[in-house]
Amino acid sequence: MKKALLALSVFTVLSCTSGEQSDEVIEEVKDINVLVGTYTGRESQGIYQFSFNPVTGEASEAQFMAESDDPSFLALSEDQNFIYAVSEVNGGSIRAFSRTDTSMTFINEQSSGGVHPCHVAIDKTGKWVFAGNYTSGSLAVLPILENGGIGEPTQIIKHSGTGPNKERQEGPHVHSVNIAPDNKALFVPDLGIDKVKAYYFNDSTGVLSPGKDMEVLPGSGPRHFTFHPNGKYAYVLQELTGTVTSFSYLDGDLTRLEEYSTLPKGFEGKNSSADIHISADGEYLYASNRYHDSIVVFKIDTSNGTLEQVSHHSVLGQIPRNFAISPDGNFVLVANQESDNVVIFKRDTTNGKLEPLDKEVKVSMPVCLVFADN
């Protein structure tokens, strides 16, 4: 895909008699890369990548980068030189890869400390990886080595309990691991026990200690979690009820605020909410709904963290398990697991709404998107 060129024209009026002179300065806008985690149950072989133009919204075809079994969630190091991927097979593991803008190289693999890891995150120091294991309801801390690889888990924590939904909440099910912006705490939504488990974090030793847990409504099934850019508010998305719960955050602790539906008023069909993100300007919150197959947009009142539903947008595919907002905030890319496509939307920064661009990237079972600017 060709790189876009921005033309910046500077006009200088020389005199009434000599006329106008135009000096045109050409600024090159580079494509950025988008990494794609997948399920490998059909045609996918692992991790893919495509280039994306942040001016036009054009995207290249997806290129195969690294073989891996069910790399359904990815975490990118701050320097963007390393990728950490879950692998949901053979008991569960985290795999480390080095990367450039054109290649990925496997470094090593360690146990995730449980079964079926579905989420991975890196602390703010870049020294520790957190793994969340769905089936075993556990989480683990793993050290990052000097070569970018990972060491064996230094701490494994197993949750306990059940919820009222006997089919989905027969035991604990950790669904994500989320480090606070100040690196003081880790928040772990557990779908099986209707809690956001909280742990204080010592980033020198990598040790987690019990914090102030937050309960959500019974049968909600908390899944994914995000912080507001101002660091004062946080939001958890409930998979089973399609709701968002808001919290205030201060010095390692959450305080529960309000709850909001992600679905249209009066909707009574099948739904399973999946992913949640906030625009970098802090003005809008987005969440994905599977089966309803939509992205919901909320306006955020940044003075108190409250939400107001703005609109719903079809994802033009099936089962939007994950999505990502471009670094400049101008686009939203949606990974539709069952229709094998990543659909590109233009984002209106003035009202938060999405407009489809009739552009997509074909990838088998895409379930995680990560922007990388190198």
Position 162 scores a pLDDT of 98
- DSSP secondary structure of 296-324: EEEEE-TTT--EEEEEEEE-SSS-EEEEE
CA–CA separation, 21 and 9 (whole Å): 10
How many residues in total does the chain contain?
Answer: 374
Q: Give this prediction's pTM.
A: 0.93
Instruction: Provide the residue type at 107 as one letter.
Output: I
Q: Dihedrals φ, ψ of 248, to 5°?
A: -95, 155
Furthest-apart CA atoms within the chain: distance in Å: 85
Phi-psi region of 70 (alpha: psi -120 to 50; beta: other; left: phi over 0): left
Burial of 108 (0-12, 13-18, 19+ CB in 10 A): middle
Provide the pLDDT confidence category of residue 28 given band limits of 50, 70 and 90. confident
Count Cβ atoms below 10 Å from residue 231 Cβ, excluding itself: 12
Provide the pLDDT confidence category of residue 7 given band limits of 50, 70 and 90. very low
pLDDT per position as a tens digit, 91-121: 899 999 999 999 999 999 999 999 999 999 9
pLDDT per position as a tens digit, 315-336: 999 999 999 999 999 999 999 9
**H or E stretch including 187?**
strand 185-190
The pLDDT of residue 298 is above 70: yes
pLDDT per position as a tens digit, 169-204: 999 999 999 999 999 999 999 999 999 999 999 999
Which residues have a Cβ under 8 Å from the Cβ of 304 and sit 6 or more positions away? none
Per the model's pLDDT, the better-predicted residue between 13 and 133 turns out to be: 133
Task: Please state which of the ranges 2-11, 224-233, 245-254, 271-280 shows the lowest mean pLDDT.
Answer: 2-11
CA–CA separation, 211 and 189 (whole Å): 13
The per-type count for the chain, helices as H runs and strands as E runs, is: 0, 31
Provide the pLDDT confidence category of residue 373 given band limits of 50, 70 and 90. confident
Position 2 scores a pLDDT of 43
